[in-house]
Structure 1
Amino acid sequence: MARYTGPKAKISRKFGEPILGPSKALQKKPHAPGQHGRGRKRKQSEYAVQLQEKQKVKYIYGILERQFRGLFHRAVVKQGITGENLLKLCEARLDNTVYRLGIAPTRRAARQLVSHKHIAVDGEVVNIASYSLKPGQLVSIREKSKSLEAVTTSLSARNAKRYNWLEWDQQQLQGVFTNYPERDQIPENVNEQLVVELYSK
């Protein structure tokens, strides 16, 4: 699968923020990667700024171009603001929800759990990371997978962060995708309007 598997710190330095998880590299090297990273920044064109924002969203959610374009078309036909719809659809992905519930420490780890058939939706095993959840659907860990070290470690380190669109049952180790989140509930620092402008050209 053509996923980005390179250095996470390099991507974080490229965008100037830890988009793929906490990174000490940003503190040590606050400039962009490469031999010209310390040099004077040239003024970016409007297109470059829009493209960079699109790339940022793709890296955050781990989505490839073709899949991302498909999500954008779904966001366009959906009622509401296109940019917000796009982020809502990204948040409704199964791998992202597994990450948000705290079952996995990162979206990469969540994708692996899903593809290795450790996650079930409404009692049925689903191994498609891009599976789009609908409000009311139940996401759970398979009975055989509840003792997995990766899962138990992540759940024990699970922080107190709660998301309004998700409900988590610690006893049953399952969560419910209650509704699509509102834009102000999504913590990611992205300007979705720039992505809309890029695709609207």
Structure 2
Amino acid sequence: MARYRGPKAKIARRFNDPIFGPSKAVSKKPYGPGQHGRGRRRKQSEYAIQLIEKQKAKYTYGVLERQFRNLFDKASRKSGITGEVLLQLLESRLDNVVFRLGIAPTRRAARQLVLHKHITVDGVVVNIPSFTVKAGSVIAVREKSKSLEAITNSLAVRANRYGWMEWDNSQMAGKMTNVPAREDIPENINEQLIVELYSK
């Protein structure tokens, strides 16, 4: 299954935003990677700004170009503000929900847990990271996987930071109670720029 496998620090530095989690590289070198990172011209075209925002969203959620385009097309057909609906669709991906619940420390780790069949949705094992979780669905750690060190370590430091999530530690199960509103999504993404890019 295709996914980005390259260096994370370089991508975070390109956007000057720790999109993969806390990063010393961004604070130590607050400029783009490469030999021309410091000397790049500051003024960017409108298209470049829009493209950067789209790339940032793609890397943040671990989605490749075709998947992202399909999600945008799906969001544009739904009622509501297209940019907001797009972020809600990204937030509803199973790998993202596993990450938000605290079962995994990063989206990459969450994706691996899903692929290796450690996660169930409403009692059924699902190994598709892009699976769309509906509000009210119960996301749980598979019975055989509850003693996995990676999962127990992640849950030990989890904090219930999201109002649209519920978690039962005794059952190692949680749910997305509702689709989050835009103000509840903490990612630093300007979705309107993405809409403008695809609308050209």
Q: TM-score range by the shorter chain?
A: over 0.9
Give the partner amino acid of 2:73. Answer: H
Runs of 4+ in 1 over 6 A off after TM superposition: none
| Structure 1 equivalent of residue 192 of structure 2 | 193
Give the partner amino acid of 1:125. Answer: V
Q: 1-side partners of 2:42 and 2:28: how far apart? A: 23
| Structure 1 equivalent of residue 164 of structure 2 | 165
- Residues 42-121 of structure 1: pairs in structure 2 closer than 5 A: 42-121=42-121
Give the partner amino acid of 2:197. Answer: L
Deviation at 1:42, TM superposition (A): 3.7
1:139 aligned counterpart, secondary structure: strand
Q: Does 1:136 align with 2:124?
A: no
Deviation at 1:112, TM superposition (A): 0.1
Give the partner amino acid of 1:121. Answer: V
Unaligned runs of 5+ in 2: none
Deviation at 1:60, TM superposition (A): 0.3
Deviation at 1:162, TM superposition (A): 2.0
| Structure 1 equivalent of residue 150 of structure 2 | 150
Q: 2-side partners of 1:183 and 1:31: how far apart? A: 29
Give the partner amino acid of 2:21. Answer: G
Q: 2-side partners of 1:133 and 1:120: how far apart? A: 11
Q: Sequence identity, in percent?
A: 70
Deviation at 1:40, TM superposition (A): 4.4
1:104-141 deviation line (CA, Å, top 9, x unaligned) = 00000000000000000000000000000111101000
Give the partner amino acid of 1:149. Answer: E
Deviation at 1:161, TM superposition (A): 3.8
Deviation at 1:73, TM superposition (A): 1.1
Q: 2-side partners of 1:27 and 1:76: how far apart? A: 36
2:114 aligned counterpart, secondary structure: helix
CA RMSD of aligned residues (A): 0.9
Q: 2-side partners of 1:77 and 1:22: how far apart? A: 35
Deviation at 1:174, TM superposition (A): 0.4
| Structure 1 equivalent of residue 125 of structure 2 | 125
Q: 1-side partners of 2:154 and 2:40: how far apart? A: 41
Unaligned runs of 5+ in 1: none
Q: 2-side partners of 1:123 and 1:40: how far apart? A: 52
Give the partner amino acid of 1:176. Answer: K
Give the partner amino acid of 1:177. Answer: M
Q: 2-side partners of 1:141 and 1:119: how far apart? A: 5
Task: Name which of structure 1's ranges 83-92 and 25-34 shifts more when overlaid on structure 2.
Answer: 25-34
1:156-196 deviation line (CA, Å, top 9, x unaligned) = 121x2421111111111100111110000000001000000
1:17 aligned counterpart, secondary structure: coil
Q: 1-side partners of 2:28 and 2:92: how far apart? A: 35
